[in-house]
Amino acid sequence: MKKEGRHGTLYRTYRPQKWSEVRGQEHVVRVLESAIKNKKIAHAYLFSGGRGTGKTTVARILAREIGVTPNDIYEIDAASNTGVEHIREVREGAHVLPLESPYKVYIVDEAHMLSKSAWNAFLKTLEEPPEHVIFIMATTERDKIPETVQSRCEIYTFKQPTREVLSEAISDVAKKEGYSLERSASELVALLAEGSFRDALGILQKVLAVSTDSKINAEEVELVSGAPRAELIRELLSALAKKDASSALTAVQKAVSENMDPRMLTKLLIHRMRVVLLLRFAPDVAKSLVHEFGEADLEIAKGLAKEAGVNSDTLRALLDAYSKMAYSAVPHLPLELAVIDIAGGSKNKV
């Protein structure tokens, strides 16, 4: 794999160039490799999945693996080319033979953004495609792709990579750039990225840009990403375990005053509380998760696991708060209400 150097964009520098470098999508890679080997190439593919999961990357690899050169790969951003006139240009171009490859490949990104009239214009080409043309459409919203289009495509669903897969990928890239990440740092980046390789490497790039040495810890990730400090998370968890509503609300207010994203704060609390409950009820399962904790966090988690006041209702209240934040008039209010319910119980419900 070619490396653009430390000043290049990490996501572009380390974008997979062959099947063996694709992470987390083995179910897709295995079928596509087999299809190529058996010379059963479809003329239309639909790649569906979350943002940053590798749909366009896999489309490019597929094109290269069937012998298509860059001169015969055409990428279209449907988000900015939504109209029927753009699709007409594609239809006309599709009938022209490839310049130097066995196929012409059209990669349509954000395909769900195409207008209804554009889909109608596109459908005829999909029904009777020229033998030398392959269409690969990528979308994060498969439900917005017309059924008539889906029925003419081979559909592949891309899964969000697990945090473990993301963490390993981040650590590998950091190592290639000459850095080492503490496990808690790579785990935090993976958590913040929310299942996106692109976002994970974007966060890592910011961290590397400000690091003063070659060792990256979780505190540096917090500083660059704006994620709540581990100290604040510990403070809030301890207050909840002690049923100290005042201290817990003070910690929430401190996070708000530091412009921390309340959804990210709640998400981190949820992940921490999940491990606490697993430590109590399923220690063997928890063993596979505690590596994301620093020493101080782990000690607090073990202590909280012994607190009778921390139970499944605690986690449910946090999950409920997280789900309501997206449309709350005051973003951190659902968390404050959850804190009151958890720490104060029914007597303090408002």
The Cα–Cα gap between 211 and 309 comes to: 40
Residue 17 has pLDDT above 90, yes or no: yes
102 contacts 66 by C-beta, under 8 angstroms: yes
Residue 159 has pLDDT above 50, yes or no: yes
The pLDDT, as a whole number, for residue 5 is 38
- pTM of the model as a whole: 0.80
The pLDDT, as a whole number, for residue 346 is 44
**DSSP 8-state code for residue 139:** E
pLDDT in tens, 182-223: 888 898 898 888 889 999 999 999 999 988 888 998 889 988
The pLDDT, as a whole number, for residue 232 is 86
CA proximity to 135, closest of 201, 203, 87, 172? 87
Per-position b or e across 229-246, b if 16+ CB within 10 A of its CB:
bbebbbbbbbbbbebbbe
Residue 66 has pLDDT above 90, yes or no: yes
**DSSP 8-state code for residue 159:** P
The Cα–Cα gap between 272 and 276 comes to: 6
The Cα–Cα gap between 287 and 268 comes to: 18
The pLDDT, as a whole number, for residue 350 is 43
The amino acid at residue 109 is D
Residue 295 has pLDDT above 90, yes or no: no
Q: Indicate the helix (H) or strand (E) that contains 349.
A: none
The Cα–Cα gap between 34 and 31 comes to: 5
How far CA 309 is from CA of 241, 247, 248, 293, 298, in Å, comes to 6, 16, 14, 22, 18
**Residue 55 pLDDT grade (very low, low, confident, very high; cuts 50, 70, 90):** very high
Region 67-89: mean pLDDT is 86
Q: Indicate the helix (H) or strand (E) that contains 259.
A: none
The pLDDT, as a whole number, for residue 87 is 83
**Residue 146 pLDDT grade (very low, low, confident, very high; cuts 50, 70, 90):** very high
Instruction: Choose the CATH number for 25-158 among 3.40.50.1370, 3.30.930.10, 3.40.50.300, 3.30.70.360.
Output: 3.40.50.300
53 contacts 140 by C-beta, under 8 angstroms: no
Q: How many CB atoms lie within 10 A of CB 2?
A: 7
CA dihedral 53, 59, 62, 66 (to 10 degrees): -170
The pLDDT, as a whole number, for residue 278 is 83
- Of 162-171, 247-256, 309-318, which gets the smallest average pLDDT? 309-318
**Residue showing tokens 């939504």:** 82
How far CA 107 is from CA of 75, 138, 161, 170, 281, in Å, comes to 5, 8, 22, 27, 48
Residue 330 has pLDDT above 50, yes or no: yes
24: left (phi over 0), alpha (psi -120 to 50) or beta: left
| Residue spans per domain, the chain | 25-158, 163-225, 230-348
User: Could you name the CATH architecture of 163-225?
Assistant: Orthogonal Bundle (1.10)
**Residue showing tokens 């290049």:** 8
- To the nearest 10 degrees (0 to 180), the angle between helices 183-193 and 218-225 is 30
pLDDT in tens, 299-321: 777 777 777 667 888 889 999 99
Region 102-125: mean pLDDT is 91
Token pair of 313 as six digits: 């209702």
**Angle at the Cα of 196 from the Cα atoms of 289 and 71, rounded to 5 degrees:** 145
The pLDDT, as a whole number, for residue 308 is 67
Name the fold adopted by 230-348: Zinc Finger, Delta Prime; domain 3 (1.20.272)
CA proximity to 301, closest of 317, 312, 289, 319? 289
